[in-house]
Amino acid sequence: MSTDAPALLRVDNLKTEFSTDEGTATAVDEVSFSLAAGETLCLVGESGSGKSVTALSIMGLLADNGRITQGQVVFEGQDLVTLPESRLRTVRGNSIAMIFQEPMTSLNPVLTIGDQLSETMILHLGLTRKQARARVVDLLQKVGIPRARDVVDDYPHRLSGGMRQRAMIAMALSCEPRLIIADEPTTALDVTIQAQILKLLRDLSDEAGTAMIFITHDLGVVAEMADRVAVMYAGQVVEQTDVYTLFDEPEHPYTTALLRSIPHLTAPAGDRLAAIPGSVPSLLQMPAGCRFHERCPQAMDRCAGERPELLSTAGQGAHAVRCWLYDGAPLPKTAAAVVPA
């Protein structure tokens, strides 16, 4: 997709902090990315890298101790960070929908599937109860729920995990959003169901031209779903590019290490995965310089003291990386980051 297309969403220099008993924890710091209509951006990174906090910041759904202290979230031209809560609620109801990992946390256990799905349609699309119910049955069929006419009167606990996640997707689609944010929507499901749900989401977003931010720690899922990828480490985006470049020519040593940590079909059985040595730094005590330098096999002197910025290494921001190996200038191909085996 052309990087010249006007952005549907532009996250610009976002910083999100939490007050905790031990001090201020900066969970998201200088995060920037943009998303065009119809595009799927995957956010990928280890546990605690700030993927969910980024999503919740965009939605304005941070926990009470959390606050956006810097930056903008521009959706269709308006900054959601400064939007009053009432208008933000309208955006959440009409334009942006979120799908979580565990559907039971977002499905109301005391309402039937039909009642909770039609609620949003009555509220946001102005349908009558009868019209909404017919729409719900259509939607349930569309997301592949068998016996939709019966399921509409079931309570969520009657459904299997995979069926609940389908119901959540139906609920997300019910307001015809232009952006869906899916936070590890298939992690809790077994592999076969996971593949079905991924395909369903991909088909639905292709069909309706819905943009998606897809959060995962699974690079296999990234390969399935992404047009573009932003790799997060310790609250920052460290590399951002299209999905093909990410797998074929990763630049950041962290991305390279992540890629090496995934099982390979061609690897001999019993081969151990390369774990990334060391651990993610504490939010309360970020190292000076590059946040990855203590774990980086290619760290140089300056990495410990100077903080790299996210800079373009290819034209028009198509490939950006936060690493002193690149220094903002495109390097010859042979100098690309290759972690020694």
Ligand X SMILES: Nc1ncnc2c1ncn2[C@@H]1O[C@H](COP(=O)(O)OP(=O)(O)OP(=O)(O)O)[C@@H](O)[C@H]1O
Binding mask 269-298 for ligand X (x = CB under 6 A): --------------x---------------
Report what 45 binds from Mg ion, ligand X, none; CB cut-off 5-8 Å by kind.
ligand X
Give dist(CA 258, CA 269) in Å, integer.
20
Cβ proximity to Mg ion: between 100 and 324 the closer is 100
Give dist(CA 35, CA 86) in Å, integer.
24
Binding mask 32-61 for Mg ion (x = CB under 5 A): --------------------x---------
Give dist(CA 125, CA 268) in Å, integer.
54
Cβ proximity to Mg ion: between 220 and 297 the closer is 220
Cβ proximity to ligand X: between 98 and 325 the closer is 98
Q: Is 93 helix (H, G, I), strand (E, B) or coil?
A: helix
Give 207's contacts (C-beta < 8 A, 6+ positions apart).
none
Report what 20 binds from Mg ion, ligand X, none; CB cut-off 5-8 Å by kind.
ligand X
Decide if residue 45 touches ligand X (CB under 6 A): yes
| CB distance 14 to 70 below 8 Å | yes
Decide if residue 217 touches ligand X (CB under 6 A): yes
Report what 100 binds from Mg ion, ligand X, none; CB cut-off 5-8 Å by kind.
none
Which one of residues 35, 50, 189, 324 is an interface residue with ligand X (CB under 6 A)?
A: 50
Number of separate helices (H) and strands (E) present in the chain: 11, 12
Binding mask 51-70 for ligand X (x = CB under 6 A): xxx---------x-xx----
The token duo for 158 is 């009657």
Decide if residue 236 touches ligand X (CB under 6 A): no
Cα first-last separation, the chain: 34
CB of 19 to Mg ion, least distance (A): 20
Cβ proximity to ligand X: between 121 and 283 the closer is 283
* Residue 288 bridge partners (DSSP): none
Cβ proximity to Mg ion: between 59 and 323 the closer is 59
Q: Edge-to-edge strand order for the sheet containing 179-183?
A: 96-99, 179-183, 211-216, 40-44, 228-233, 236-242, 320-321, 311-312
Give dist(CA 245, CA 313) in Å, integer.
12
Handedness of CA 220, 226, 230, 232 (dihedral sign): negative
Report what 13 binds from ligand X, Mg ion, none; CB cut-off 5-8 Å by kind.
none
- Contact set with Mg ion (CB under 5 A): 52
Residues of the shown chain interacting with ligand X in the complex, contacts defined by CB under 6 A:
18, 20, 25, 27, 45, 47-53, 63, 65-66, 217, 283
